[in-house]
Amino acid sequence: MNTTTSTALPGAPAARRPLTDWLFALVVMAVAGWAWQTHGAAMDGYEKAILAGAVPSLIALGWFWKPLRLLLVGCGLATWAAMALYLRTTDAHGADLAQADNVFLLKYFLSSQSAILWMSVLFFLSTVFYWLGVVSKGDTATRLGSRFAWAGVFMALTGTLVRWFESHQIAPDIGHIPVSNLYEVFVLFAWLTTAYWLYYEDRFAKMGQALGSLGAFVMLVVSAAVGFLLWYAVVRGASEIQPLVPALQSWWMKLHVPANFVGYGTFALAAMVAFAYLVKHHAGETRWWKLAPLWLMGVVLCFEPVVFRAKPGVEGGLSAYWAVYFGISALIVAAIVAARKPIAARMPAFDVLDDVMYKAIAVGFAFFTIATILGAFWAAEAWGGYWSWDPKETWALIVWLNYAAWLHMRLMKGLRGAFAAWWALAGLLVTSFAFLGVNMFLSGLHSYGEL
């Protein structure tokens, strides 16, 4: 008798699905039902619609990629534990948030700020161990890098969910999904980019194409985002939950921002894969003028922190934090270029790198397109017009056109190789300016997000 358990793919007949699939679906529905019953009174119609839509979406994701099941269930349990600890005592608005400083588990692990700090440490450790895997030419450190990345995503999701709960306990009109300022969206960017990388790492491994060492490059951009996040939290005090400005008091924000950052995250991932491709491509190169463009591009990407000056009125010039940040970043790029030959030996084959880069850009482009359409609807609601050529909108269009052209050349003209990688790497500069540069240098309708 054949006792092998069926592992049906999404869309297969229900009878072929293993029991674990239905148990997972039951858990998701039970948690959603509890959330509806317990917190439904605090939700508006759109939030209830999002909750209802999240149930089949999470079930489908868990069926499609099984490692997500443990992650989602774990985050749910950790969030529930944090809420229970907060609710042991209450104040005028609900849970007593002062418990975050009094209860051990909240203070050191489960409050939103503690969880996000753990996320930061774990992502840094993941980067370090991935690079140790490259240097040591062994798989143990690489596997640890992957485990730390998973743990970082877990803490990031837990911190995000707990922060959402905390915002609702401050006052009835304060609560909102935590994607409303640069601090919150950098958390979103960090864990989305990492989660998407972990998906590729898992899928390609099942096809017999190990990507592990490539994580050393991908996690560099995540660590760079965490570096900004820590500065923004400490120097600018951005980790405090603030009321939404009027322009952000829209249910469109709950859809537009996450879709946008799937695009940003996958574009950043593609750029780092492109960097790895170019390092491998130049592995045997000894002429300095051939290597200079690669080093200069890396330094230009690292140079962005120089524009983050000290807070006006506090001190002038470049802050010590960003001077050190830039110096370390430039040294890392120089070390990668100098050690290009042994690093290249640990990277996947060119066709695999090219495939990952293409898939990341294709997914990012799809989500960025959706986000742009949603943003147009939001603009019509907030400002009375779908498009106003605001600087943020204009640069979003430039990003969209850049990747539309890249995909067109790929699909219609067979774009491959070093030129495609250079284009994808340069795309990170365009995307970064649309993401941060507009907020720093240009004013407009999106000036509420200025640094």
pLDDT of 273 over the 80 cut? yes
* pLDDT tens track for 204-234: 998 888 897 899 999 999 999 998 898 888 8
pLDDT value, residue 40: 79
Nearest CA among 215, 92, 82 for reference residue 160: 82
The reported pLDDT for the residue numbered 107 is 92
The partner residues of 95 in beta bridges, in order of sequence, read 90
For the segment 298-302, the average pLDDT, to the nearest whole number, is 70
DSSP 393-449: HHHHHHHHHHHHHHHHHHHHH---HHHHHHHHHHHHHHHHIIIIIHHHH--STTGGG
Distance CA 138, CA 421 (A): 27
Express each pLDDT in 168-207 by its tens digit. 888 777 888 898 888 999 999 999 999 999 999 999 998 8
Per-residue model confidence (pLDDT) at position 173: 77
> What pLDDT, on a 0 to 100 scale, did the predictor assign at position 444?
58
pLDDT of residue 367: 96
At 10, the pLDDT band (50, 70, 90 cuts) reads very low
Give CA separation, 57 vs 29, 34, 54, 113, 175, in Å: 11, 17, 5, 28, 24
With a cut of 60, say whether residue 309 has pLDDT above it.
no
pTM comes to: 0.90
Q: How confident is the model at residue 4 (pLDDT cuts 50, 70, 90)?
A: very low
pLDDT band at residue 318 under the 50/70/90 scheme? low
Mean pLDDT over 322-337 rounds to: 85
Q: What is the mean pLDDT of the chain?
A: 86
Sign of the torsion formed by the C-alpha atoms of 264, 265, 271 and 275? positive
The conformational region for residue 237 under phi > 0 = left, psi -120 to 50 = alpha, else beta, is left
For residue range 50-97, what is the model confidence (pLDDT) as tens digits?
Answer: 888 989 999 999 999 999 999 999 999 999 999 999 988 776 667 778
Nearest to 424 by CA among 226, 259, 217: 217
H or E stretch covering 94 = strand 94-95
Sign of CA dihedral 429, 327, 122, 226: negative
pLDDT tens digits, 429-438: 899 888 887 7
Rounded to an integer, the average pLDDT of 287-312 is 67
- What is the rounded average pLDDT of the residues 316-342? 82
Listed in sequence order, the DSSP H helices in 65-139 are: 67-86, 104-105, 112-136
